[in-house]
Amino acid sequence: MQLMFSAEFIPLLRDISIQNDGMPLSVFEPPQRYSRYSPAINFYNSVAWPSPDTKEGLTFCAMIQKSKVIDSMCLECDKNMTDDCVKTGKKRIYRCHRGFNEAIIPIKINQALCACIFLGQVSTEPKSEEHFRVIYEGLAKVDKDFFTEDKYAEYYNYYNKRLCSISERRFLAACSMLEQLGENFVRLGWIRDVKVGHRELLEQYLSQHLYDRINAEDVCDSLNISRATLYRLVKKEFGVGFNTYVNRHKISVAKDLLKRGYNVKQTALMLGYEDVGYFSRLFSELHNVSPSEILRLQEKTDLQNK
């Protein structure tokens, strides 16, 4: 995939960050992050808050990554956790090699992982000079030539001003919230695969808006095409008009909803049809049987299976 991230992410990430003591957040396309010391992996496609190109982006972890040794350790940690998230399709909540809380949450398009949400770096310990001294002594053991005593005060300043410190409960709550929001990012079009053609994008849109009232204007806005182009695309690819194609797409799943126990009115309303009679006519035309008959047949089958 080659993803495009919407600028609409920025206000959301900013607000969540502000609510959590400036916690760094990003949405990125695997594999890894940018590294100032490793040009071979400088292809990090992401949207982030705070932006690494700003003063606010100079977080405590960004500062300690000025050490090549620490940077390489961070890259290895990021790579291992991202690879595991991609492989399993499940979120990872963990402590990094420096003991800070971090999380990687997968986002999927059509069941395939496309992007990840990153949360971190978070200290769940209250800030104090004693706590910082432990951190700095640990850094000095790893790279004594970089983390010298004369830099102690400079890094203590960044520790106080730029290291996110919240409770583990708040951190886990932020993870849970972003995990729930993940699928909506795709549905809203905030994440889009620019390598996918218009046909695939149209099918993705219809699948993601199956239970909405779909109109040509909204589809055109989402796909960034004109109404005339949309009509030509549907006619060329599917041999029918736009409205007919949308109705077929929705009615094709109506039979399954009926078999799962929803009545005709519930099924119609779920699929965005306020006129139940109109829905029933469309269903009958496509399946050569009425939705009521499907319900009766399903009830009969259920009784026979008891």
Can you give the length of the chain in residues? 306
Average pLDDT along the chain? 86
Residue owning tokens 């039979």: 255
Q: Which of 7-11, 110-114, 258-262, 277-281 has the lowest mean pLDDT?
A: 110-114
pLDDT value of position 142: 95
Question: Residue 18: its pLDDT value, please?
Answer: 92
Range of weakest confidence among 70-74, 111-115, 144-148: 111-115
Taking residues 70-95, what's their average pLDDT? 90
Residues 6+ away with beta carbon under 8 Å from 228:
none
- The structural domains of the chain, with segments of one domain joined by +, span 3-192, 196-305
Which pTM value belongs to this model? 0.63
| pLDDT band with cut points at 50, 70 and 90 for residue 294 | confident
Number of Cβ within 10 Å of residue 108's Cβ equals 14
Q: Is the pLDDT of residue 43 over 80?
A: no
pLDDT band at 183 (very low <50, low <70, confident <90, very high): confident
The pLDDT value given to residue 131:
95
Q: How confident is the model at residue 194 (pLDDT cuts 50, 70, 90)?
A: low
CA atoms of 49 and 94, how far apart (whole Å): 20
Dihedral sign computed on CA atoms, order 159, 94, 32, 109 = negative
Q: Please state, for a pLDDT cut of 90, what percent of the chain lies above it.
A: 42
Highest mean pLDDT among 45-49, 71-75, 206-210: 71-75
Cα within 13 Å of Cα(117), Cβ side = 29
196-305 has which CATH code?
A: 1.10.10.60
Supply the pLDDT for residue 97: 92
The tens digit of pLDDT for each residue in 116-160 reads 999 989 999 999 999 999 999 999 999 999 999 999 999 999 999
The pLDDT-based confidence of 189 (bands split at 50, 70, 90) is: confident
Q: CA geometry: angle at 290 spanning 289 and 292, to 5°?
A: 130
In tens, the pLDDT along 265-280 reads: 999 998 989 899 999 9
Is the pLDDT score of 290 beyond 60?
yes
Query: Which pLDDT does position 306 carry in this prediction?
Result: 61
- Give the angle 237-240-245 at the CA atoms, nearest 5°: 85
The single residue listed with the structure tokens 């890894």 is: 32
